[in-house]
Structure 1
Amino acid sequence: MPSHPGRRRTSATTESRATAVTAESTETFADLVAAEDVLLFVNAAITSTGQREFHSGEDEQGLSLGFLHEYLLGNYRDLYAATLALDVNDHNAALIIRNLLVTAGEADPERRRAEGRLIARRLALLPPPRVYRLFRELRRARINNRRTRAIMRDWLAARPDLAFDAVKYRGAVKTAFRHAHLEPRGELGTFLFAPRRKAAYATPILESWRQAHYRQEAIYDLPYTVAEGFAAKHGIPRAAFLERIAPRLTRLERLRLQESARALKADAVRADLTAMPLTRLASYVLGLPPDDRVRRRAELTEALRAAARRTAGEQAGRWGRVAAVLDDSFSAYGSAQKRRRPLAVALACHFLLEALASRYTPLWLSGRSDALLVRPYGATPLGERVLDALELGPERLVIVSDGWDNAPPGLAGEVLRIWRTRLDPDGACGVVHLNPVYDAASFDVRRLVPGVPSAGIRDAENLVALVELARFAEGRTGLPELRAHLAHRVTDFLDAEPPETAGRVADEGDPAAGAAGEDVRRTPREDARRTPGEGT
């Protein structure tokens, strides 16, 4: 890797690829380097959240990830922006948006317009707390140009119920309005900046917030996270509070509270597990004691399979014979910040591959055959399991592991190298390694062998798209093909139907009572400066 973002990186992998390139194809070699750089960044942006992992600390993760952002932004700005259309995680999507806005002066007007469309679309998909946190970071960084204010104004105008946001994220909403030089209309402005001034509010949720200070009944008309504080203030027993607030809970809040509510016998808090996202559901299952998993085996298995079938969609049953090597070694525990996350990804991938395949064979490193009872334990005999999988003659082999092969070290890489170069040079069996852990030291996910593509994965829901993207890492395609793939993804991303709740992912299930944008008004100064198409 270079010592600073202005220098381009070469590696042993790209140099080995270059031996197959003729002397006059210098541009092709540069394209290979660029394609590898982009794939390196995408792997990091999918897997890393800057938090501690099993083999590296939070500081290492943050420094390594920050360097990659700076490097790709400095060398391939258009491709850097295009990654917003890929399955990068929310942490990195917010970093990309921030970096594009901070360096807006380095792009020409046409490039800024293209970036503005990608930013607006991605903001609409991010959870509101993440967006408000981004707005606060922009304020601290003193990024307050007209383009940034326009993007903030348009996002706020698209919110389905700003009064709801004002109650749930009051401080963040105030910061956003101030930074964007906006005047909230009517009662919203009073609530944000002088909430005790009015004796009563006409907006129901604002009035419920006012009454909740002295009347217990009013707290059950508020969002759960706000009502919880009022319940503690009024001394309401936890079980009684959960029973009454249950209709206001979002889908994910129900999942998080279900076990504690069960212990309190608050039966109204019960999540519909079959409707949960696959990886989130896998994390929930792994958080249950083994005895509970055994007792609820039928319920949990059906829920996981239903989520997997929903995720597979039209691809269900079309992948032919599939073998999977799944890592449940001790390092699959992850860290205190990402507890059991690698194992949850492996469990979710197991059920998704079962739905995708016409014939499926899972091979857990521990030798377990009961996926519902997997736990992070033992060494990582990856090579032995890869040998077992290849002996089955599958059409696809999917390896889900952090890549730390240590029993014995390096066996998996050697097995795959011999398989690819001598036994299956034509690639009759497609092999792909999906890694849920970012390796800060190598600026990438840990790879098994150069001839087998490795891709970062955070959620099993992205498995199909990642297997497609991983083919670019085999070195058979270069930058033109990668650019074409990104352009196709960007087009699909921008043309997709906007989310009904305008980015209210975290608030799913909450009622939206207001008309979009009805409480946002530009100041006279902003009206005078407004230009057509600004912010897009």
Structure 2
Amino acid sequence: MESCPDLVAAEDVLLFVNAAITATGQREFRSGAAEQRLSLDFLHAYVRINYRPLYAASLALDINDHNAALIVRRLLETAGEATADERRTEGRLIAARLARLPAPRVYRLFRALRAAGVNNRRTRAIIRDWVAARPDPALDAVKYRAGLKSAARHAHLPLRGPGEDGGELGDFLFAPRRRTRFTTPLLDAWRRAHYEQGALYELPFTVAEGFAAAHGIGRRAFLERIAPRMTRLERLRVQESARAQGAGVDRELSGMPLTRLASYVLGLPLDDRVARRAELTGALRAAARRTAGARAGTWGRVAAVLDDSYSTTGSRQKRRRPLATALACHFLLEALAETYLPLWTSGRRDALLAHPYGPTPLGMRVLDALEHAPERLVIVSDGWDNAPPGLAGEVLRVWRTRLDPRGATSVVHLNPVYDAEDFTVRRLSPVVPTAGVRDAEDLPALVQLARFAEGRTGLAELRAHLDERVRQFLAEAEAESVRRTVRRTEGAAG
């Protein structure tokens, strides 16, 4: 039997994991950015000091990029607090997590480490190995020039670019006027774009934008010519502005991540959603099927209570993010279930037209869902049950303690909003597990993690779960590293 300290430790770690999944230090609907950052900083310090191995192990979980970068920074800043074995494990976890983070965030992390004066041997080695593994050094030099320069200075990197004259990468970053031309096409395109308009269309979209403005090129003409150089995400971001300018930018919804696609759909006017119903619904269902994979249709009878109340508006920094998570979860649960019953708090039946509206009658919708006796009930909400207040918690208590004490219906609450005041995500009831959620893609793993939040499992079981996740995470990272090495070797040979 678990001791009381172990149960408390398990609760502390789960509290941190829920925060690391949902919190980004930005304003939420009910709390400001300063409150969010203060609350999150305290949690990071508390868990790092008291449970350092578990703090590092959380890098293998489905936490968001903001908190992953914070954990890496805190571990490197306090390397002296770790044992030799802990440092070795942390180094592997950090390298594996950095390989998954977007390049701009990693470069921001490196600048933060430089500003904080963190320049130990392990930090320099981590920076060196990450930069060396980048697939296209010239692209990084052009697209993330300031970040790469800062990393090179901080870690004393021996910059070598592609081609026989590898030293030109260092010249490009630190002495671009030293050369009249570069042998690497992308580097030379950047040089020529300063005075030659046609050259900017050989550059990445985000870099070309600045040159287009400097040359006074009209937005419509620029978007039409740069379209072939844009990534799928860049096309999505500029689609609506391109349409306003009368520019043709092809839509590419196939292959989009589910939650990002849901955010895009919610950003469209309702009339556009109606006009493009078949296209948008097909893309969302295809993304959900990809996410479900082999689990599609295996969850039996599923009911979902989905929050589309006014609070899902989010904030200026996280506009409609809670609603986007709920919409993405809706389509994923539809794919996972054998039979599926969605219940939106607003009472609407058309998920594609979801928009933030009205109060949050969670209790009524939970009652409606339980009447159908599902095998699984998934509640996606910020937990502010207010119509009437507290009804959902009371319904769930009576259901679990009196009507379904053996747990024939599995109930889990997924919350996309961090509550800065309580240092965690808001719970609906002590008898129902709650887990933080940011991306619907993580839903199956979070449903498994949520069982630890019921208060009946202790630190040993949680540690075993984390150890298994760490093992899988590092194995996947090593396999991906081998694949990257093979691709680079084949590319050099070709």
TM-score by length of 1: 0.88
What is the alpha-carbon distance in structure 1 between the residues aligned to residue 136 and residue 489 of structure 2?
7
Which residue identity lines up with residue 226 of structure 1 in the other structure? V
Moved more, 216-225 or 255-264: 255-264
Which residue identity lines up with residue 145 of structure 1 in the other structure? N
| Equivalent residue runs for 1:91-490 within 5 Å | 91-185=66-160, 186-267=167-248, 269-490=249-470
Give the Å deviation of 1:103.
0.6
What is the alpha-carbon distance in structure 2 between the residues aligned to residue 82 and residue 174 of structure 1?
31
Q: Is the 8 A contact 2:20 2:63 kept in 1?
A: yes
Give the Å deviation of 1:502.
11
Q: Residue 182 of structure 1 aligns to a residue in which SS?
A: coil
**CA separation of 1:337 and 1:220: change in aligned 2, threshold 3 A:** same
Give 1:54's match in structure 2, choosing from 16, 25, 29. 29
Moved more, 87-96 or 214-223: 214-223
Q: Is the 8 A contact 2:427 2:434 kept in 1?
A: yes
Which residue identity lines up with residue 207 of structure 2 in the other structure? V
What is the alpha-carbon distance in structure 2 between the residues aligned to residue 271 and residue 47 of structure 1?
30
Give the Å deviation of 1:35.
0.7
Give the Å deviation of 1:328.
0.5
Which residue identity lines up with residue 374 of structure 2 in the other structure? P
Give the Å deviation of 1:498.
5.4
Q: Is the 8 A contact 2:435 2:450 kept in 1?
A: yes
Q: Is the 8 A contact 1:161 1:515 kept in 2?
A: no
What is the alpha-carbon distance in structure 1 between the residues aligned to residue 33 and residue 107 of structure 2?
23
What is the alpha-carbon distance in structure 1 between the residues aligned to residue 317 and residue 310 of structure 2?
16
> What CA deviation, in whole Å up to 9, does each residue of 1:223-269 have, x standing for no partner?
111101111111222112111111111111011111222233322x2
Q: Identity of counterpart residues, as a percentage?
A: 74
Q: Is the 8 A contact 2:258 2:441 kept in 1?
A: yes
Give the Å deviation of 1:515.
7.5
Which residue identity lines up with residue 274 of structure 2 in the other structure? V
What is the alpha-carbon distance in structure 2 between the residues aligned to residue 426 and residue 86 of structure 1?
30
What is the alpha-carbon distance in structure 1 between the residues aligned to residue 430 and residue 320 of structure 2?
28
Q: Residue 176 of structure 1 aligns to a residue in which SS?
A: helix
Say yes or no: does 1:495 pair with 2:475. Answer: yes
> What CA deviation, in whole Å up to 9, does each residue of 1:302-354 have, x standing for no partner?
00000000000111000000000000000010011100000000000000000
Moved more, 233-242 or 91-100: 233-242
Which residue identity lines up with residue 55 of structure 2 in the other structure? Y
Q: Is the 8 A contact 1:224 1:245 kept in 2?
A: yes
> What CA deviation, in whole Å up to 9, does each residue of 1:195-250 have, x standing for no partner?
11210101111100000011111111111111011111112221121111111111
Highest relative contact order (Cα 8 Å, sep 6+), 1 or 2? 1
Q: Is the 8 A contact 1:128 1:503 kept in 2?
A: no
Q: Residue 317 of structure 1 aligns to a residue in which SS?
A: coil
What is the alpha-carbon distance in structure 2 between the residues aligned to residue 263 and residue 175 of structure 1?
38
> What CA deviation, in whole Å up to 9, does each residue of 1:351-389 have, x standing for no partner?
000000000000000100000111101111110000000
What is the alpha-carbon distance in structure 2 between the residues aligned to residue 196 and residue 242 of structure 1?
30
Q: Is the 8 A contact 2:96 2:477 kept in 1?
A: no
What is the alpha-carbon distance in structure 2 between the residues aligned to residue 50 and residue 160 of structure 1?
31
What is the alpha-carbon distance in structure 1 between the residues aligned to residue 441 and residue 35 of structure 2?
27
**CA separation of 1:167 and 1:313: change in aligned 2, threshold 3 A:** same
Give the Å deviation of 1:499.
8.4
> What CA deviation, in whole Å up to 9, does each residue of 1:18-60 have, x standing for no partner?
xxxxxxx6x6211111111110000000000000000111011
What is the alpha-carbon distance in structure 2 between the residues aligned to residue 71 and residue 308 of structure 1?
37
What is the alpha-carbon distance in structure 1 between the residues aligned to residue 192 and residue 423 of structure 2?
53
Which residue identity lines up with residue 186 of structure 2 in the other structure? I
Q: Residue 183 of structure 1 aligns to a residue in which SS?
A: coil
Equivalent in the alignment of 1:13:
none
> What CA deviation, in whole Å up to 9, does each residue of 1:152-183 have, x standing for no partner?
00101101111111111111111100100223
Q: Is the 8 A contact 1:124 1:498 kept in 2?
A: no
Gaps of 5+ in 2: 161-166
Q: Is the 8 A contact 1:101 1:143 kept in 2?
A: yes
Provide the aligned length of Structure 1 versus Structure 2: 483
Equivalent in the alignment of 1:21:
none
> What CA deviation, in whole Å up to 9, does each residue of 1:56-75 have, x standing for no partner?
11011001011010000000
**CA separation of 1:503 and 1:416: change in aligned 2, threshold 3 A:** farther
RMSD between aligned residues: 1.8
What is the alpha-carbon distance in structure 1 between the residues aligned to residue 56 and residue 483 of structure 2?
19
Give the Å deviation of 1:475.
2.1
Which structure's residues are more often helix, by fraction? 2
Give the Å deviation of 1:274.
2.4
Which residue identity lines up with residue 106 of structure 2 in the other structure? V
**CA separation of 1:439 and 1:499: change in aligned 2, threshold 3 A:** farther
Q: Residue 196 of structure 1 aligns to a residue in which SS?
A: helix
Give the Å deviation of 1:271.
2.8
What is the alpha-carbon distance in structure 2 between the residues aligned to residue 169 and residue 123 of structure 1?
16
> What CA deviation, in whole Å up to 9, does each residue of 1:475-514 have, x standing for no partner?
232111111111111011000155869999xxxxxxxx98
Q: Is the 8 A contact 1:124 1:503 kept in 2?
A: no
Give 1:87's match in structure 2, choosing from 45, 62, 65. 62
What is the alpha-carbon distance in structure 1 between the residues aligned to residue 179 and residue 285 of structure 2?
52
Which residue identity lines up with residue 217 of structure 1 in the other structure? G
Equivalent in the alignment of 2:163:
none
Gaps of 5+ in 1: 1-24, 505-512, 519-536
Which residue identity lines up with residue 37 of structure 1 in the other structure? D
